[in-house]
Amino acid sequence: MSHIPIPNPILHPTPASNPESCPALRVVARCRPLSRREEAAGCERIVELEPGLGRVSIRNPRAAPGEPPKTFTFDAVYDAGARQAELYDESVRPLVDAVLRGFNGTVLAYGQTGTGKTYTMQGSWAEPEKRGVIPSAFEHIFTHISRSQNQQYLVRASYLEIYQEEIRDLLAKDPGKKLELKESPETGVYIKDLSSFVTKNVKEIEHVMNLGSQARAVGSTNMNEYSSRSHAIFLITIECSETGPDGEEHIRVGKLNLVDLAGSERQGKMGAHGERPKEASKINLSLSALGNVISALVDGRSTHIPYRDSKLTRLLQDSLGGNAKTIMVATLGPASHSYDESLSTLRFANRAKNIKNKPRVNEDPKDTFEEKQKLLEE
């Protein structure tokens, strides 16, 4: 598998075909079961989900008698009994189908450390029924390609993390090298010198993912012994070429961002020392910047959207209010000791529901097909 630099095509918007089939923005909530530790400590469950109504209720353990729980409604909710495949098929599959048709798409997991973000995004690779969004998307993409006729596909994968506001390429020979964000009128925000691997099947793209995962910054905190202290983004670019009615080759380019955010908890709760408070403040900076972007997008009065306040928000500029279809999965802990963080996550996700994205197909009618054809045949 070689690292092949491919020039970014100039993207020309074309009208979206049947955009109703996948909403531009979908916000779903997922609550994990009580952990063994929580059960052993006698923690009470304060989060209730009603999947049929898309409703989440959270009860304040310090509430006065008779005080009603706070209730939130989302596009879908998944309780502790929900299977991985259920979440993928209902909420994610239509988005990946849209990416295969040339849209940009983002799936983003947000929540406190230890609430199941990484389980939702990756799951357990070895057990098919526990595989998360990312391995399911790999399978989905290459199954679609193997069944397609009169179309040729080029699939490239990149993997990066944002750690303490620095961008690291997890697939580079030198992952310690810090990369720069750039902007171009044709392609928008991109990362200069980010490596990209052409992958021809599920096994190859899984290999790329595994290589990057080994390089991720992992730290130990009270909340979750192996909690990742970085935001990780796995980026899949899918180029599809086919002959149009005009006899010309047309190339559509869909990009899929798969985002596992670092935990959203307050510093005091993490009990982290040394590097950790610095890490936590940088994580909180990018997550609060994400919150500010969402607030500015939905308040209807802001003329300035503060995308530039963090690297994370600049990279997600398309996904929030831009040219992308986006799914946010808000992950929750059910126990009373997580009340403040769970309520904060629900409020964050509730605000995000009101973002308006304007997705469109990315089409490249330029004469770049022959060059890409050679890559496909290699």
Binding residues for ATP: 111-118
Dihedral angle, C-alpha 361, 366, 369, 372, nearest 10 °: -80
Task: Give the DSSP letter of residue 131.
Answer: B
The answer to whether 377 and 4 are in contact (CB under 8 A) is no
Task: Give the DSSP letter of residue 88.
Answer: I
246 Cβ contact list (under 8 Å, min separation 6): none
Binding residues: 111-118
Question: Angle at the Cα of 81 (from 21 to 98), degrees rounded to 5?
Answer: 20
Question: Angle at the Cα of 82 (from 262 to 122), degrees rounded to 5?
Answer: 35
H or E, element range at 21? none
Q: Which two tokens stand for residue 221?
A: 């905190």
* Residue the block writes with tokens 């808000």: 330
Report residue 23 CA to chain centroid gap: 16
Pairing relation of β-strands 181-184 and 188-191? antiparallel
The dihedral of CA 363, 365, 370, 371: what is its sign?
negative
H or E, element range at 86? helix 84-87
The answer to whether 255 and 236 are in contact (CB under 8 A) is yes
10 Å CB burial of residue 276 (0-12, 13-18, 19+) is middle
d(CA 85, CA 72): 24
273 Cβ contact list (under 8 Å, min separation 6): none
d(CA 345, CA 274): 27
The answer to whether 327 and 345 are in contact (CB under 8 A) is no
Q: Which two tokens stand for residue 280?
A: 């936590």
